[in-house]
Structure 1
């Protein structure tokens, strides 16, 4: 909708050369103004919503479903509220014309056009503006449809992001950051859950996953949810919960089922240890950016070993797993490629920068650590959504 608003003035510049073009959309029992997104100090922002029964020309155009023309300030004062007069005075307008925006099924809103000096709107100009309002209505309808799809996809995606388990000793924190471009709906996700107890009274192992399904749309978010569920089931069905065995089972399932799964992920198991002893990390990497491990002394290790990505074409791929001891106080960082991939920038340099941040701030509380990383790595703004998951062993 902001894009539609940006283009209004240019679209109407050659039609009577108005000094103002505004957009208001119908939202239940009110009109919601779409202010110029590039002008944060705009007078428009003083009144962002209007009841449909407000004594404003725009509200009247919506109520009556017809064009409302106010030739001058005297007519505005005579027929409309002091609030309307004050707003148009601050906008510097004398003549105002409000045209209803008719969609394919309903009245969508109002196009408000204004001139700083008294302006006579002739028959030809009125016809041209009416035709332009029809094109603008089509753009508004498409924008509303797209906004609704994006909103549903965002809600779906966020609903599928896991509530992190309450671990007895290990700290776990996660962060999800949408793409800078709202149109880019991603398939990034994280997951963390305890495994069944090996014996009564034992401390459960923890499974963690960070993954990225290819695509930036509702389909990617849906496939992400399917893969997450399939991976959980495959894990619990394959004791003793080998990450490589689980990924091989997922490959086999995706080769048979109609799931168009393409992407990358890291699937890991964290086994607890007695106090002051090292924990055990076992992981398998399907083409994903390398996890980073910060030792208690601050050194950061890049866990670079990986296999091919998740894809139907690689259904017979060999899945390997790797082990590492995590000394008490170690911090493990998993992330998706949106954090380190930028068009025209070197990904290895970005991973080195990320390792430096983990080195400097690795002792911070995990939520603060993830916030710092997200802020420092956000330039230029990511074109993809980003997931971060951090764990710290006691």
Structure 2
């Protein structure tokens, strides 16, 4: 005979199974919230919306502010009634606390925890409380608090912040701050800490690469009749650094060299490779008085020997004026790079499509042809990387048409304004690095040109 377990036992088993499923669901939702975006604060806010009201009536995440001598910044406060308080309510930099502060936040930062709180005196009833402690008590009173748990966010032997979970009403024996739930909360805090630590490491790497790139960008030559301007902006959406660069310098015969390139990749390695390519190309250009196609062919050969797995696009150009009465000329070669844009003083635009060949590193024996273009007085030549025109949601032709339209509208603007407006109008929607360099030809009737090197 098969006997059924007592009703109470079946209830306990069902409840245990349901609790386990709830915990697994909560952890899965928390992980998804943290991994759903590259923006740390956005991920933390999404996490808090998972925890409220599943674990708490409201929660807060405070992170150590590195630039504020270890003070905490409240980056998220999430309440179960989101419309009860304005956006950003109670968020911001918190008061400093000394090493002996009894504020629960300060104690958690010193490594104590998880802290379980059930006594919340009024701020005026606490003697000797520092400003952080007073603010914390004011927050508990303002938002309501009957029970609270504060867990330090630890990663790599450091406390990066504090997670605070609060219940306003009575809690059940297996509630938020019970011994059964504390391991779950600690695991959640660990995942938050890892997300914060990873975000910090990512930012450090990105900042290092960006500083490297910016340190390699040249001072533009200003000695001569040509107006020249350039811009560089790292990727906005991905927080990654690529291999985009520009360069400009005067050769001994007075020719202005213009270079723009893009090394494959979006990381510190790409930034380092960019610096290597830039310096090699500079050396080749200064050593060899040869057409642009020949210069790129020499760079390709050197790249094949020294960095055989590296590919890049590059556009090398020379702006010259054969004699004081002659017309300015652009000699150029493009290895897999977007075509330069010519904008006349009257707003006519066209892409210069001669002198094209494969990107560097793909086929070292490729013939690298040259292009030549006469530059009308008052015209502008724009060299740029693909981040200015490429978008995932549209064709390349759409991006090139948009660039022509923006540039035509800015044909008579000062060159610095021309570049600024292009970056504002086209760069805001880009997810890639952008580099550009532009040269403005003197208007008709300007002073005669004398070739000089800087």
The answer to whether TM tops 0.5 is yes
Q: Residues 274 and 342 (structure 1 numbering): CA distance in 2 closer, same or farther, change over 3 Å?
A: same
RMSD (Å), alpha carbons? 2.8
Match of 1:125 among 164, 167, 181: 181
Q: Cα distance, 1:83 vs. partner?
A: 2.7
Q: Does 1:110 align with 2:135?
A: no
Name the SS of the counterpart of 2:105 in structure 1: helix
Q: Residues 372 and 130 (structure 1 numbering): CA distance in 2 closer, same or farther, change over 3 Å?
A: same
Q: Does 1:142 align with 2:198?
A: yes
Name the SS of the counterpart of 1:30 in structure 2: coil
Q: Which residue of 1 aligns with 2:393?
A: 344
Larger gyration radius, structure 1 or structure 2: 2
Partners of 2:325 and 2:346 in 1: how far apart? Answer: 15
Match of 2:438 among 355, 377, 390: 390
Q: Does 1:86 align with 2:138?
A: yes
Q: Residues 321 and 51 (structure 1 numbering): CA distance in 2 closer, same or farther, change over 3 Å?
A: farther
Q: Which residue of 1 aligns with 2:16?
A: none
Q: Residues 309 and 218 (structure 1 numbering): CA distance in 2 closer, same or farther, change over 3 Å?
A: farther
- Which range moved further: 228-237 or 300-309? 300-309
Listed as ranges, the matches of 1:307-318 within 5 Å are 307-318=356-367
Q: Which residue of 2 aligns with 1:245?
A: 294
Normalization by structure 1: what TM-score? 0.88
Q: Residues 279 and 93 (structure 1 numbering): CA distance in 2 closer, same or farther, change over 3 Å?
A: farther
Partners of 1:208 and 1:45 in 2: how far apart? Answer: 48
Runs of at least 5 residues in structure 2 that lack an aligned partner in the other structure: 1-39, 443-454
Partners of 1:27 and 1:134 in 2: how far apart? Answer: 20
Match of 2:88 among 42, 50, 65: 42
Is this contact kept in 2: 1:176–1:387, CA < 8 A? yes
Partners of 1:278 and 1:91 in 2: how far apart? Answer: 74
Q: Residues 32 and 393 (structure 1 numbering): CA distance in 2 closer, same or farther, change over 3 Å?
A: farther
Q: Does 1:33 align with 2:83?
A: no
Q: Does 1:22 align with 2:22?
A: no
Q: Which residue of 2 aligns with 1:201?
A: none
Is this contact kept in 2: 1:52–1:63, CA < 8 A? no
Partners of 2:98 and 2:213 in 1: how far apart? Answer: 34
Partners of 2:150 and 2:44 in 1: how far apart? Answer: 15
Partners of 1:287 and 1:140 in 2: how far apart? Answer: 39
Q: Does 1:5 align with 2:37?
A: no
Name the SS of the counterpart of 2:304 in structure 1: helix
Is this contact kept in 1: 2:337–2:359, CA < 8 A? no
Q: Does 1:63 align with 2:110?
A: yes
Partners of 2:167 and 2:388 in 1: how far apart? Answer: 47
Match of 2:336 among 277, 283, 287: 287
What is the number of equivalent residue pairs in this alignment?
Answer: 386
Runs of at least 5 residues in structure 1 that lack an aligned partner in the other structure: 199-203
- Which range moved further: 157-166 or 318-327? 157-166
Name the SS of the counterpart of 2:339 in structure 1: coil
Name the SS of the counterpart of 1:41 in structure 2: coil
Name the SS of the counterpart of 1:245 in structure 2: helix
Higher RCO structure (Cα 8 Å, ≥6 apart): 1
Q: Cα distance, 1:34 vs. partner?
A: 5.5
Q: Cα distance, 1:353 vs. partner?
A: 1.8
Q: Cα distance, 1:338 vs. partner?
A: 0.8
Normalization by structure 2: what TM-score? 0.77
Partners of 1:212 and 1:364 in 2: how far apart? Answer: 27
Q: Which residue of 2 aligns with 1:208?
A: 258
Q: Residues 313 and 34 (structure 1 numbering): CA distance in 2 closer, same or farther, change over 3 Å?
A: farther
Is this contact kept in 2: 1:71–1:118, CA < 8 A? no
Partners of 1:313 and 1:388 in 2: how far apart? Answer: 24
Partners of 2:271 and 2:145 in 1: how far apart? Answer: 47
CA displacement 1:125-172 (0-9 Å, x = unmatched): 223212322222222222222221122112112222222122321111
Is this contact kept in 2: 1:4–1:140, CA < 8 A? no
Q: Residues 36 and 177 (structure 1 numbering): CA distance in 2 closer, same or farther, change over 3 Å?
A: farther
Q: Residues 186 and 36 (structure 1 numbering): CA distance in 2 closer, same or farther, change over 3 Å?
A: farther
- Which range moved further: 165-174 or 123-132? 123-132
Partners of 2:417 and 2:77 in 1: how far apart? Answer: 31
